[in-house]
């Protein structure tokens, strides 16, 4: 059974109909890439799963439990970590506080500190600095690290490679690969090369609808689908 | 291994000055104004003016700190904050001057709270009714109105010993005078009007109806937050209070009359803080929360709430302004008074001679001390605790904090409650120094809003700094009204008239906002 499944999900933001029927399933232990053009509704899909932009209709199930009508904090506390785009770390908090605030139970941070710092060695020497002093790449690492502090079963990661230098993208990819060994990941990624190297399956969203899904290995050779839905090979 | 080169101290200072040219200029100008007072007035006058300014700043800070925390975290500008400060003063006065009335009121309030705390258990039932939107609103409003009328009817049947506004010897004013002169007598206890059982039952049913009406409207479709055993704690506490009050109410009243006014004053402070906290939580849950999507309505709601509180206070305590005697600890007179120098601070006198002037222990020393203590406690709360961390993070990005699994709404309720608690506490602190009047709230709110704007709206240290600057400036302008400011081009010194006092403070805000639009501690967006 899928860890997370969405079926016929519709979401409105104000009066705009953003998601017009999204179906997707994420199996335990997988990395699933959510692909699509700018404005297709990828970020909204993640936010709808978390209840930040609540679904108007459709079902969202996590571990067989419905997430609709639940408050975001309850959904997150059920074991879903969120790494938003644009590195939404807290500027007024130090790196350590940014990690500590994600604790769901006392001692979460102490328990996973070493694992996170070995994944992102840069953070270790910045630990006392406020968020404002971090470079873009460091902020992105902190945002991913933060999602690893509590005991999450699923990570929603939005555009981890956006705006990063190639060497940092490489580092980020390795980190995601490593953390995915014991966590399931739903990944939104514009960079098809990054997505294809990380994910085992994919879902393409086009104008708010999920239009295509399958194994990543098949998509890589399917230039026509890539051209049609992603606009680039 | 690379070593980062640390800039020298002087380099760092000059960099900081360059980045904060506007701020530095304003601080320098104000420091010049305040220090130049040293040359145009006596040292004693100058010292007392600074102390008074700091005292006004401390009281302003107690209001502005809550305002800025609430605005920073929740984007709610609570225009009722000044009136809640005023309400705190009146409640504190009642605990302090008429503890019998306070004890009498405590019984029905504790009973009502015990019932109201059952709300989390009613919510799931309300959700299962599955009424339509219209039906739930009608049912909710009808239940609410019936419950309110019933509760008010029952409340008046409780034995409340109250003052009679028509008779001077039984008014709040005469009670204050009697306490000050040490001739206060314990008033006769009041008796139940009608059957006690009927009153208690109707009050319980009335509050239950209000809570049920609220739950029907609120939880029509929404899944309520899960109930757990922790929700029983406040119910048990309130029931315990009811039992204690029923059994030992009268001996406790006699005891309250027998203790020193100092202890009674500190009890009044605790009651105002706790009562303000509870009232703040109630306001946030019942009135602010449904309006988070509509900020303008929220603004109007808090404005209206302020007017309601003013009229409520006029109705209950009466129109005349009245005083609050200073607690015994700060009211000593007679042999060895006034105290001398620093040692005089502990002499128990009402005033102390200090640097050529007489400093009042309560108005200056105590109020400033309280302001500093609150500043330190809140700063530690924000910097060192988990809830403080959540507040700092939430000021920037509430959604992300919620997405981490934090119940941000509960943090909102607590911050709002804390802000109102601080304001009510500030009201009691201000009472003996400024006296009580229904208008005291709007005056301090204006100062607090200006302090907030000067400090940078959402910044807590900014609110503190703004409050101090506003207080100092106000007191210096008041003092200059009598001493005059010598002008080089004129023989006549310039004496600002009293109407220039509020103008000067607003002028400060205008200048600050023109030079540094984001405020002294604000951050450019």
**pLDDT of res. B2:** 43
Nearest to A61 by CA among A25, A34, A35, A33: A25
In angstroms, what separates the C-alpha of B72 from chain A's closest C-alpha? 13
| 3-state class (DSSP) for residue A153 | coil
Closest partner CB to B405 (pick from A52, A69, A104): A104
Asked if the C-beta of A88 comes within 8 angstroms of chain B's C-beta atoms, the answer is: yes
Query: For residue B155, how many C-alpha atoms fall within 13 Å in the half-sphere facing its CB?
Result: 14
**Dihedral sign, CA of B155, B156, B157, B162?**
positive
Query: A125 in contact with B at a CB cutoff of 8 Å?
Result: no
Count CB neighbours of B524 within 10 A.
Answer: 6
- For B256, phi then psi, to 5°, come to -60, -35
Q: A69–B402: do the CB atoms touch at under 8 Å?
A: no
Partners of residue A50 in chain B, C-beta under 8 Å: 403
Say what the pLDDT of residue A79 is: 93
Q: Is residue A105 part of a domain?
A: no
Q: Do A73 and B406 touch (CB under 8 A)?
A: yes
Q: What is the number of residues in chain B?
A: 525
Secondary structure (DSSP) of A128-145: TSBGGG--HHHHHHHHHH
Which residues from A are below 8 Å from B407, CB to CB? 71, 73
Residues 1-40 of A with CB under 8 A from B: none
CB contact under 8 A, B402 and A71: yes
Q: Residue B98: its pLDDT value, please?
A: 93
Helix H or strand E segment including B353: strand B351-354
Closest residue to A93, CB basis, from B225, B392, B405? B392
Each residue's pLDDT expressed in tens, for chain B with a length of 525 residues: 444 455 677 887 787 777 777 788 888 888 888 888 887 788 888 899 999 999 999 999 999 999 999 999 998 999 999 999 999 999 999 999 999 999 999 999 999 999 988 888 887 777 777 778 788 889 989 999 999 999 999 988 898 888 888 888 888 888 888 888 888 888 888 888 888 899 999 999 999 999 988 888 877 766 556 667 888 898 999 999 999 999 998 899 999 999 999 999 999 999 999 999 999 999 998 899 889 888 899 999 999 999 999 999 998 888 778 899 999 888 888 777 777 777 777 777 888 887 778 888 899 999 999 999 999 999 999 999 999 999 999 988 999 999 999 999 999 999 999 999 999 999 999 999 999 999 999 999 999 999 999 998 888 999 999 999 999 999 999 988 888 887 878 778 888 888 888 899 999 999 999 988 888 887 765
What is the residue-averaged pLDDT of chain A?
Answer: 90
Q: Do A101 and B404 touch (CB under 8 A)?
A: yes
- The answer to whether position A212 is within a domain reads yes
Tell me, yes or no, whether A55 lies in a domain.
yes
Residue A233: band (very low, low, confident or very high) from pLDDT cuts 50, 70, 90 = very low
Cα separation of A73 and B399, whole Å?
10
Inside any domain, residue A49: yes
**Out of B222, B389, B408, closest to residue A93 by CB:** B389
Mean pLDDT of A74-95: 91
- Asked whether the beta carbons of A79 and A115 are under 8 A apart, the reply is no
Residue A90 lies in a domain: no
Higher pLDDT, A145 or B20: A145
- For residue B410, what is the nearest residue in chain A, using CA coordinates? A73
Per CB-CB distance under 8 Å, the chain A contacts of B395 are: 92
Residue A114 lies in a domain: no
Using CB atoms, which residue from B390, B400, B406 is nearest to A84? B400
pLDDT at B417 (0 to 100):
97
How many domains does chain A divide into? 1
Tell if the CB–CB gap between A70 and B397 is shorter than 8 Å. Answer: no
Q: Average pLDDT for residues A47-63, to the nearest whole number? A: 93
Nearest CA-CA distance, residue B382 and chain A, Å: 11
Nearest to A101 among B225, B389, B407 (CB): B389
| Residue where the block lists tokens 């210096």 | B476
Residues B478 and B361: their CA atoms lie apart, in Å, by: 21
Beta-sheet pairing, A16-26 with A65-66: unpaired
* Long-range CB contacts for residues B131-140, cutoff 8 Å, separation at least 24: B131/B216, B131/B220, B133/B220, B136/B216, B136/B217, B136/B220, B137/B217, B139/B213, B139/B216, B140/B213, B140/B214, B140/B216, B140/B217
Which residue from A minimizes the CA distance to B219?
Answer: A69
Is residue B194 helix, strand or coil? coil
Tell me which residues of chain B have a C-beta less than 8 Å from any C-beta of chain A: 221-223, 225, 386, 389-390, 392-393, 395-397, 399-409
- Probe site for chain A from B396, B403, B406 (most A CB atoms < 10 A): B403
Give the domain range for residue A220.
1-79+154-160+185-233
CA distance A94 to chain B (A): 10
So what's the pLDDT on residue B1? 41
* Mutation target vs B (from A47, A56, A71; most B CBs, 10 A cutoff): A71
In the predicted structure, residue A38 carries a pLDDT above the cut 90 = no
User: Which is nearest to B412 in space by CA: B431, B398, B428, B397?
Assistant: B398
Classify residue A211: in a domain, yes or no. Answer: yes
Whether residue A166 lies inside any domain: the answer is no
Token readout for A184 is 């399931």
Range list of β-strands (E), chain A: 4-13, 16-26, 31-35, 55-62, 65-66, 80-83, 154-158, 184-188, 201-206, 209-215
Total CB pairs under 8 A between chain A and B: 63
- Provide the pLDDT for residue B68: 94
- Taking contacts as CB-CB distances below 8 angstroms, the residues of chain B near A88 are 397, 400
**Which residue of A72, A93, A146 is in closest CB contact with B402?**
A72
**Secondary element (H or E) of residue A67:** none
- Per-residue model confidence (pLDDT) at position B67: 95
Contact B95, B102 (CB under 8 A): yes
Two structure tokens written together for B449 = 């809003």
Q: Do A88 and B400 touch (CB under 8 A)?
A: yes
Which pLDDT score, from 0 to 100, does residue A232 have?
A: 57
Phi/psi of residue B187, each to 5°? -65, 160
CATH number at residue A70: 3.40.50.300
């Amino acid at each position: 059974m899928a860890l997370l499944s969405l079926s016929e999900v519709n979401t409105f933001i104000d009066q705009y109909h953003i998601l017009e029927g999204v179906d997707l399933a994420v199996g335990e232990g997988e990395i699933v890439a959510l692909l699509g053009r700018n404005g297709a509704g990828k970020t909204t899909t993640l936010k709808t799963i978390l209840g930040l932009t609540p679904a108007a209709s459709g079902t969202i199930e996590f571990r067989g439990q419905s997430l609709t009508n639940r408050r975001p904090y309850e959904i997150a506390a059920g074991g879903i970590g969120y790494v938003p785009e644009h590195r939404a770390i807290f500027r007024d908090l130090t790196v350590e506080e940014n990690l500590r605030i994600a604790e769901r139970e006392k001692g979460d941070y102490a328990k996973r500190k070493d694992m996170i710092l070995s994944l992102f060695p840069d953070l270790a020497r910045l630990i006392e600095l406020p968020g404002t002093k971090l470079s873009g790449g460091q902020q992105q690492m902190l945002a991913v690290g933060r999602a690893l502090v509590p005991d999450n079963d699923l990570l929603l990661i939005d555009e981890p490679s956006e705006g990063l230098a190639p060497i940092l993208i490489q580092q980020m990819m390795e980190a995601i690969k490593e953390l995915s060994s014991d966590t399931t990941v739903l990944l939104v990624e514009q960079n098809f090369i990054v997505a294809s190297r990380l994910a085992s399956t994919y879902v393409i969203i086009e104008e708010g609808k999920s239009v295509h899904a399958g194994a990543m290995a098949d998509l890589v050779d399917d230039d026509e689908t890539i051209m049609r839905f992603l606009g680039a090979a | 291994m690379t070593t980062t080169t640390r800039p020298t101290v002087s380099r760092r200072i000059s960099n900081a000055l360059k980045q904060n040219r506007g701020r530095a200029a304003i601080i320098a100008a104000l420091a010049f104004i305040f220090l130049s007072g040293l040359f145009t007035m006596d040292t004693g006058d100058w010292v007392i003016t600074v102390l008074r300014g700091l005292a006004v700043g401390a009281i302003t800070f107690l209001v502005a700190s809550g305002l800025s925390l609430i605005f920073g975290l929740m984007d709610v500008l609570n225009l009722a904050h000044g009136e809640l400060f005023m309400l705190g003063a009146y409640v504190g006065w009642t605990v302090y001057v008429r503890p019998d009335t306070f004890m009498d009121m405590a019984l029905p309030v504790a009973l009502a709270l015990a019932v109201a705390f059952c709300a989390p258990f009613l919510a799931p039932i309300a959700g299962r009714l599955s009424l339509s939107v219209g039906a739930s609103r009608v049912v909710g409003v009808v239940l609410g109105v019936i419950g309110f009328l019933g509760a008010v009817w029952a409340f008046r049947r409780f034995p409340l010993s109250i003052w009679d506004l028509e008779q001077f010897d039984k008014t709040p004013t005469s009670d204050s005078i009697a306490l000050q002169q040490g001739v206060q007598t314990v008033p006769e206890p009041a008796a139940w009007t009608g059957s006690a059982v009927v009153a208690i039952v109707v009050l319980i049913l009335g509050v239950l109806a209000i809570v049920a009406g609220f739950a029907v409207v609120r939880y029509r479709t929404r899944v309520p937050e899960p109930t757990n055993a922790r929700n029983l704690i406040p119910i048990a506490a309130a029931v315990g209070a009811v039992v204690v009050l029923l059994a030992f109410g009268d001996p406790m009243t006699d005891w309250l009359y027998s203790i020193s006014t100092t202890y009674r004053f500190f009890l009044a402070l605790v009651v105002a803080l706790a009562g303000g906290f509870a009232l703040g939580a109630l306001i946030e849950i019942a009135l602010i929360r449904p309006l988070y999507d509509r900020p303008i309505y929220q603004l109007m709601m808090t404005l209206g709430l302020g007017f309601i509180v003013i009229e409520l206070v006029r109705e209950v305590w009466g129109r005349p302004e009245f005083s609050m005697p200073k607690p015994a600890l700060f009211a000593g007179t007679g042999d060895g008074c006034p105290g001398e120098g620093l040692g005089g601070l502990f002499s128990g006198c009402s005033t102390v001679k200090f640097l050529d002037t007489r400093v009042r222990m309560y108005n200056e020393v105590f109020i400033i001390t309280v302001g500093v203590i609150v500043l330190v406690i809140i700063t530690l709360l924000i910097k060192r605790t988990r809830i403080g961390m959540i507040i700092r993070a939430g000021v920037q990005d509430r959604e992300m904090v919620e997405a981490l699994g934090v119940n941000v709404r509960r943090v909102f309720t607590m911050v709002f409650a804390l802000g109102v608690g601080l304001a009510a506490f500030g009201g009691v602190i201000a009472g003996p120094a400024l006296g009580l009047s229904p208008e005291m709230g709007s005056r301090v709110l204006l100062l607090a809003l200006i302090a907030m704007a000067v400090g940078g709206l959402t910044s807590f240290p900014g609110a503190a700094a703004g409050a101090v600057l506003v207080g100092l400036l106000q007191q210096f302008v008041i003092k200059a009204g009598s001493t005059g400011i010598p002008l080089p081009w004129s023989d006549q010194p310039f004496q600002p008239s009293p109407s220039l006092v509020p103008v000067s403070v607003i002028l400060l805000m205008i200048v600050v906002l023109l030079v540094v639009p984001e405020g002294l501690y604000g951050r450019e967006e």
